[in-house]
Chain A
Amino acid sequence: YGRSDSYRVATTQDKDDKDSPKKKKGTKDLDDLKKEVPLVRITLKNHFRKLSLFFSSQKGLTNAKAREFLARDGPNALTPPPTTPEWVKFCRQLFGGFSILLWIGAILCFLAYAIQAATEDEPAGDNLYLGIVLSAVVIITGCFSYFQEAKSSKIMESFKNMVPQQALVIREGEKMQINAEDVVAGDLVEVKGGDRIPADLRIVSAHGCKVDNSSLTGESEPQTRSPDCTHDNPLETRNIAFFSTNCVEGTARGIVVCTGDRTVMGRIATLTSGLETGKTPIAKEIEHFIHIITGVAVFLGVSFFILSIILGYSWLEAVIFLIGIIVANVPEGLLATVTVCLTLTAKRMARKNCLVKNLEAVETLGSTSTICSDKTGTLTQNRMTVAHMWFDNQIHEADTTEDQSGASFDKSSLTWVSLARVAALCNRAVFKAAQDSLPILKRDVAGDASESALLKCIELSCGSVKMMREKNKKVAEIPFNSTNKYQLSVHETEDPNDNRYLLVMKGAPERILDRCSTIMLQGKEQPMDEEMKESFQNAYLELGGLGERVLGFCHLLLPEDQYPKGFAFDTEDVNFTTDNLCFVGLMSMIDPPRAAVPDAVGKCRSAGIKVIMVTGDHPITAKAIAKGVGIISEGNETVEDIAARLNIPISQVNPRDAKACVIHGTDLKDYSQEQIDEVLRNHTEIVFARTSPQQKLIIVEGCQRQVNTHLAFQDCLYSSGAIVAVTGDGVNDSPALKKADIGVAMGISGSDVSKQAADMILLDDNFASIVTGVEEGRLIFDNLKKSIAYTLTSNIPEITPFLFFIIVNIPLPLGTITILCIDLGTDMVPAISLAYEAAESDIMKRQPRNPLRDKLVNERLISIAYGQIGMIQALGGFFSYFVILAENGFLPSLLVGIRLNWDDRSMNDLEDSYGQQWTYEQRKIVEFTCHTAFFVSIVVVQWADVIICKTRRNSVFQQGMKNKILIFGLFEETALAAFLSYCPGMDVALRMYPLKPSWWFCAFPYSFLIFVYDEVRKLLLRRNPGGWVEKETYY
């Protein structure tokens, strides 16, 4: 009977549950995903069948049934998120973002070559080479970033827990150890302290069972599990234990109700993997940049196409020119530069323990304007620690920092000695073996979380607890239970001559107080009067208000006459006094914030980033921690605080007066989208407590809808919203992590699901690393701007020669090969070196960038790079071109219109200005010498360019030349240019010729002009903040 019933339970719940994932896949609508309903129904059903379950629980499933269910439901494991095949990842690197621009360039080149090949006898190979080089650049850069990301994902894989979990199931009345994967719905499972729960369990019997739900709900305290259904919400009720949470202590038996993806954990994981993530901010910026560049390229191309038609070129020639100009606008080296810059930053961050999974996410933290942080394990240490003590009618603060660097309290009081003794003796927690070398706080403890906290606290302040326990042998013990709400033990005293027994007790403070008639003050017992009781109440309330769990401690030296040595203490039927004890003190525990967090939160604040706490834990604890770490800053009050202070009802408080607020998950459930927006808009310091994973998601989406408070109204209209970072470690955080613009997971304590959903992983679990992330992100954004400004500038001296070649028919001043030598040769190292540039001002003191206005590349950057510096550079190049031709006999006046004869192969007696006659090859050598000189001139003017690009506002003299890589870059590009010009064989290989030493100096005045011009511009910029110069030229 029992067996068949359990089978029915299993099937009904299965039917209910089976269609929900289907729905999930069908529509990704959030509301649908929010469904927790089926599980509630199951639990209720189970609840009604409690009795029948109890009967079935004796023997469990038959092996046959289990096999049948296993075949039907599949293994009890989470479906891994759909992994993108490697080739798709590779293709994404090859064809994503910037690469598209280069591919189009390459295709245009091949097209131009095809046209030339079809129409000319001896087509110039330039377009073909350029096409090949462009493709090669994209492919090589693609491979590079692919391997870079593959490296990160390898580190990710190493996180995965490879040890197969075991589960103890009862089948056909026999206990058997099987792989957790083989557990099926309906199985009877036994768990004990230290086990991982193999599936969602409906508890049928439990003995002091506690589970750690922190990864699922964010509650830092272990939760009791018992067969009673205490709540309609399955996450709140006591009789359900969840898959992949841990049983901390006690034992329990339960029937498996859900397995694999159907578990609560599985649903969250499915929800997470189903979420679509948007583009990273830097990807959007690069897209915007491509738009600008394409715009400029097409504009130039088309206008010169029309011009060349007017000038009488044939259609085909004009098309070739059109393509040539468009392709010349493509900055070939920039893709590689950007990739290398991002990689360098990613590496730098990895050294600071921030592992970035996706290269583009490197910058995202820098643009972030809101951080939604989980509490447990992220802001806090996720371990209970003694935070406060109350004895001698005074609250003492204990050191809660991880490294014991905090302040200590006065340990000289005799009361403290007694309190420590009670806490040490009335305590069942012990350190696990072989950990003597570890610092006390790092040691593993067997036992309840609060007892471990006490144990560590005493061990730290009073030395070995083990010794103390050995000296005071335990005679009798009554463990904690929920009816007594206290724990008691009787010990021998330290003094061998003293034959009295010491009774020590701890428990809920009010219960302990009831049993006390005296109180210890300065080591002396004094009668408990009303005044003392009141101060006890105050202390209890104050500590409770801090969100701490408070325990009371008392003791009594049993009189020797009543309880002589050898007295048989009976703990079942208590035969000794448990009243009229002496109250010693209170100790309160909390999961304390990590030491570095308050500082990090403060830094985020000053960087204009709003920090919001979103936790599954209780509001009081959440608020206390929020205050502790500065998420609710000192002096800021919530509506409730104001009401309490003014002693008026909450309804009378103007919500606008309160900058801070704490919102409960159950309230949040009823909020409309507008209400959420309003909360997020009107409060600067927000704590969300008791939130479900789905609500975390809603909150993140709400934040993403917000706009920076410092935006003008106009911008709000076109706003795409704020950039939100989410930090978290638990499974319950993972949907939010995925949805956020950047999800940051914890590397040590974080769950696998959260790590998979995140874009960045803090390897040392240190929230402060986020500040590093913000700093590096902002720096790389600034430096990428500089890098791009530098790289784009040389585009003008590269394009103008071709334009003049078309319009005024001069011999070509700069060839394709030399352009490539600049873009992919000399410009590379200096451009990359700008990634190493130090920040100009304190980047952590300014507001996060406005994604609408502060673009990576804007018109001002183009105006400076193309319109101003680029033009000076082009003049420098042309000057050396004219110098070489003139010194060889071709004066500028002769050059205009000479092109047709110049490029005529059969013309071997072309006359120069002096009447000398040149063969085709002779003048081509001069032309290629001009290319080389133009190239060298660009190198020379790029010296000045890289120096002015070091800063956007400050003078170079303020910034200094501390960037060693940049100095190296200057020498490297010069050496490379000299090598290309003077190395024997270059005339054949690249058609570059040695230059006379004097030709190196042609561009020097222009280089100098660039430097002076930009210094003056920056001086004006600094002198008149917000003035015309800033409006038009500050990029």
Chain B
Amino acid sequence: MAKDDEKKESGEWKEFFWNPRTHELLGRTASSWGLILLFYLVFYTFLAGMFCLTMYVMLLTLDDYKPTWQDRLATPGMMIRPKSDPLEIVYNLEKTESWDSYIQALDNFLAPYNDSQQAMKNDACIPDQYFIQEDSGEVRNNPKRSCQFNRTMLGSCSGLEDRTYGYQEGKPCVLIKLNRVIGLQPSKDEKSPYVSCSVEKGQKTAQTNETSAAVEYFPPNGTFNLYFFYIVNYSQPLVAVKFTDLSFNTDFNVECRIKSSSLFKISERDKFAGRVNFKLRINKV
């Protein structure tokens, strides 16, 4: 009985797959397959057309230079260079190869900031005010210009004099950049925002703020001059932080924040909006 059933069942399946009597493949004849496939072809083509149409209409409503909504970017993100995953700078002073990659990354990153390049592409702007290039009515004032950020502004962290950015001497430089947000006005008054870093010895409960003593900022005071901001596709300004007084073989947790009169919201959830945390450790035998 069971065998018969099985046979019958497999026969039914075979028949379903290809029925030689009615010339049906999977229960449909060729013309039936043709019709249904044609229908779906037409139907999906129509749908694709409709989708493209709605997308086209939607794209028409967009501005070419400024996104419609920026509320999610109210607090710009901050990032460091060199970056790694997880965010830490750990190397061995004696082993060149352990910090070689950092140097390389910084070199690459800073290449576009060479003074010659900047002079070619960007304008020299008036300090401490936004470089606003208004549109005049319908006529767009495009392309907009950016302000120069010269590599030399980074002083001893520019990598021009000290090719190793201080890594060799155990006084590493870390570049801090503020994420680009179009139209961002980081300060309400004329005061430029600046970066302030705090260094904590890892696992220590007592906070020892060694900021003043151990950290040097380039440009001075760690400011981002206002003229860099607001413009479309501005060249991102940088702040270099040089850690001059780090004890060896110790974990340091560094937190750098942007300080400005706009009072950016620092959210618990987002560890990179308006601040950046990273670990620093230099090993030495």
Is residue B126 within 8 Å, beta carbon to beta carbon, of the partner chain?
A: no
Asked whether B79 lies within 8 Å of A921 as measured between CB atoms, the reply is no
Distance of A891 Cα from B68 Cα, bound (Å) = 12
Asked whether A887 lies within 8 Å of B50 as measured between CB atoms, the reply is no
Stretch at the interface among B96-104, B201-209, B245-253, B269-277: B269-277
Contacts of B180 in A (CB 8 A): 911, 915-917
Is residue A289 within 8 Å, beta carbon to beta carbon, of the partner chain?
A: no
Asked whether A909 lies within 8 Å of B177 as measured between CB atoms, the reply is yes
B105 to chain A, nearest CB (A): 14
A:882-927 near B, CB below 8 Å:
882-883, 886-889, 891-892, 904-906, 908-909, 911-912, 914-922, 925-926
B254 to chain A, nearest CB (A): 15
Asked whether B40 lies within 8 Å of A914 as measured between CB atoms, the reply is no
Contacts of A878 in B (CB 8 A): 51
Asked whether B182 lies within 8 Å of A916 as measured between CB atoms, the reply is yes
Asked whether B77 lies within 8 Å of A886 as measured between CB atoms, the reply is no
Is residue A107 within 8 Å, beta carbon to beta carbon, of the partner chain?
A: no
Asked whether A921 lies within 8 Å of B269 as measured between CB atoms, the reply is yes
Contacts of A917 in B (CB 8 A): 76-77, 79, 179-181
Contacts of B36 in A (CB 8 A): 1032
Distance of A922 Cα from B181 Cα, bound (Å) = 12
Asked whether B179 lies within 8 Å of A919 as measured between CB atoms, the reply is yes
Contacts of A968 in B (CB 8 A): none
Asked whether A875 lies within 8 Å of B47 as measured between CB atoms, the reply is yes
Contacts of A889 in B (CB 8 A): 67, 70
Is residue B66 within 8 Å, beta carbon to beta carbon, of the partner chain?
A: yes
Asked whether A872 lies within 8 Å of B47 as measured between CB atoms, the reply is yes
A:850-888 near B, CB below 8 Å:
867-868, 871-872, 875, 878-879, 882-883, 886-888
Is residue A996 within 8 Å, beta carbon to beta carbon, of the partner chain?
A: yes
Is residue B20 within 8 Å, beta carbon to beta carbon, of the partner chain?
A: no
B120 to chain A, nearest CB (A): 19
Asked whether A888 lies within 8 Å of B51 as measured between CB atoms, the reply is no
Interface size on A, residues (CB 8 A): 38
- A909 and B55 contact, Cβ closer than 8 Å, known pairs A889-B67, A914-B67, A926-B72: no
From the candidates A882, A904, A920, A1032, name the one contacting B55 in the complex (CB within 8 A): A882
Contacts of A915 in B (CB 8 A): 180, 182, 232-233
Asked whether A887 lies within 8 Å of B68 as measured between CB atoms, the reply is yes
Is residue B30 within 8 Å, beta carbon to beta carbon, of the partner chain?
A: no
B207 to chain A, nearest CB (A): 25
Distance of A883 Cα from B83 Cα, bound (Å) = 32
Chain B 155-184 near chain A by CB (<8 Å), digits 1 or 0: 000000000000000000000010111100
Asked whether A919 lies within 8 Å of B272 as measured between CB atoms, the reply is yes
Asked whether B73 lies within 8 Å of A922 as measured between CB atoms, the reply is yes
- A909 and B72 contact, Cβ closer than 8 Å, known pairs A879-B51, A882-B58, A1032-B36: no
From the candidates A875, A911, A912, A926, name the one contacting B51 in the complex (CB within 8 A): A875
Distance of A926 Cα from B69 Cα, bound (Å) = 11
- A868 and B43 contact, Cβ closer than 8 Å, known pairs A882-B58, A908-B77, A919-B270: yes
Chain A 993-1035 near chain B by CB (<8 Å), digits 1 or 0: 0001000000001000100000000000000000010001000
Contacts of A911 in B (CB 8 A): 180
Summarize A's interface: helix, strand, loop or mixed.
helix
Distance of A886 Cα from B66 Cα, bound (Å) = 11
Asked whether A916 lies within 8 Å of B86 as measured between CB atoms, the reply is no
Asked whether B54 lies within 8 Å of A919 as measured between CB atoms, the reply is no
Is residue B13 within 8 Å, beta carbon to beta carbon, of the partner chain?
A: no
- A996 and B69 contact, Cβ closer than 8 Å, known pairs A871-B44, A915-B233: yes
Distance of A141 Cα from B40 Cα, bound (Å) = 38
Asked whether A883 lies within 8 Å of B77 as measured between CB atoms, the reply is no
Is residue B87 within 8 Å, beta carbon to beta carbon, of the partner chain?
A: yes
Contacts of B54 in A (CB 8 A): 879, 1005
Is residue B59 within 8 Å, beta carbon to beta carbon, of the partner chain?
A: yes
Distance of A921 Cα from B269 Cα, bound (Å) = 7
- A909 and B77 contact, Cβ closer than 8 Å, known pairs A867-B40, A872-B47, A917-B181: yes
From the candidates B68, B179, B269, name the one contacting A888 in the complex (CB within 8 A): B68
Distance of A382 Cα from B73 Cα, bound (Å) = 84
A678 to chain B, nearest CB (A): 26
Distance of A917 Cα from B54 Cα, bound (Å) = 27
From the candidates B35, B77, B79, name the one contacting A922 in the complex (CB within 8 A): B77
Asked whether B58 lies within 8 Å of A918 as measured between CB atoms, the reply is no
Contacts of B17 in A (CB 8 A): none
Q: Which residue of B lies closest to A882 (CB)?
A: B55
Distance of A915 Cα from B236 Cα, bound (Å) = 11
Asked whether A916 lies within 8 Å of B83 as measured between CB atoms, the reply is no
B:222-278 near A, CB below 8 Å:
232-233, 267, 269-273, 276
Is residue B2 within 8 Å, beta carbon to beta carbon, of the partner chain?
A: no
Contacts of A1005 in B (CB 8 A): 50, 54
Contacts of A921 in B (CB 8 A): 267, 269-273
Asked whether B62 lies within 8 Å of A886 as measured between CB atoms, the reply is yes
Chain A 94-124 near chain B by CB (<8 Å), digits 1 or 0: 0000000000000000000000000000000
Asked whether B72 lies within 8 Å of A1009 as measured between CB atoms, the reply is no
B47 to chain A, nearest CB (A): 6
Asked whether A925 lies within 8 Å of B272 as measured between CB atoms, the reply is no
From the candidates A871, A886, A996, name the one contacting B59 in the complex (CB within 8 A): A886
From the candidates A872, A883, A906, A908, name the one contacting B58 in the complex (CB within 8 A): A883
Asked whether A919 lies within 8 Å of B77 as measured between CB atoms, the reply is yes
Q: Which residue of B lies closest to A912 (CB)?
A: B67
Chain B 133-157 near chain A by CB (<8 Å), digits 1 or 0: 0000000000000000000000000
- A906 and B73 contact, Cβ closer than 8 Å, known pairs A867-B40, A916-B181: no
Distance of A177 Cα from B85 Cα, bound (Å) = 94
From the candidates B58, B84, B179, name the one contacting A909 in the complex (CB within 8 A): B179
Most buried by A among B50, B76, B84, B179: B179
- A888 and B69 contact, Cβ closer than 8 Å, known pairs A875-B47, A916-B179: yes
Distance of A995 Cα from B68 Cα, bound (Å) = 14
Distance of A1009 Cα from B43 Cα, bound (Å) = 12
A162 to chain B, nearest CB (A): 47
Distance of A911 Cα from B62 Cα, bound (Å) = 18
Q: Which residue of A lies closest to B79 (CB)?
A: A909
Contacts of B179 in A (CB 8 A): 908-909, 916-919
Asked whether B67 lies within 8 Å of A888 as measured between CB atoms, the reply is yes
Asked whether B35 lies within 8 Å of A1028 as measured between CB atoms, the reply is yes
Asked whether B270 lies within 8 Å of A922 as measured between CB atoms, the reply is yes
Asked whether B77 lies within 8 Å of A887 as measured between CB atoms, the reply is no
Contacts of A926 in B (CB 8 A): 72
A:914-963 near B, CB below 8 Å:
914-922, 925-926
Q: Which residue of A lies closest to B62 (CB)?
A: A886
Distance of A1028 Cα from B31 Cα, bound (Å) = 12
Most buried by B among A908, A915, A925: A908
Distance of A1005 Cα from B83 Cα, bound (Å) = 46
Contacts of A906 in B (CB 8 A): 83-87
A738 to chain B, nearest CB (A): 25
Distance of A922 Cα from B267 Cα, bound (Å) = 11
Q: Which residue of A lies closest to B270 (CB)?
A: A921
A335 to chain B, nearest CB (A): 28
Asked whether A925 lies within 8 Å of B72 as measured between CB atoms, the reply is yes
Please name 14 further chain A to chain B contacts, defined as beta carbons within 8 Å, in addition to the given A867-B40, A906-B87, A1028-B35, sorted by A numbering.
Answer: A879-B58, A886-B59, A886-B62, A886-B68, A906-B83, A908-B79, A909-B77, A909-B79, A918-B72, A919-B179, A921-B269, A1005-B50, A1005-B54, A1032-B36
Nearest first, the 6 A-B pairs at minimum CB distance are A919-B77, A917-B179, A921-B270, A906-B85, A889-B67, A887-B68
Sample (27) of A-B pairs whose CB atoms are under 8 Å apart: A867-B40, A871-B47, A878-B51, A879-B51, A879-B55, A886-B62, A887-B69, A889-B70, A892-B55, A906-B84, A906-B87, A908-B79, A909-B79, A909-B177, A914-B67, A915-B180, A916-B70, A916-B73, A917-B181, A918-B73, A918-B77, A919-B270, A919-B272, A921-B267, A922-B77, A1009-B50, A1028-B35
Give the B-binding residues of A (Cβ under 8 A): 867-868, 871-872, 875, 878-879, 882-883, 886-889, 891-892, 904-906, 908-909, 911-912, 914-922, 925-926, 996, 1005, 1009, 1028, 1032
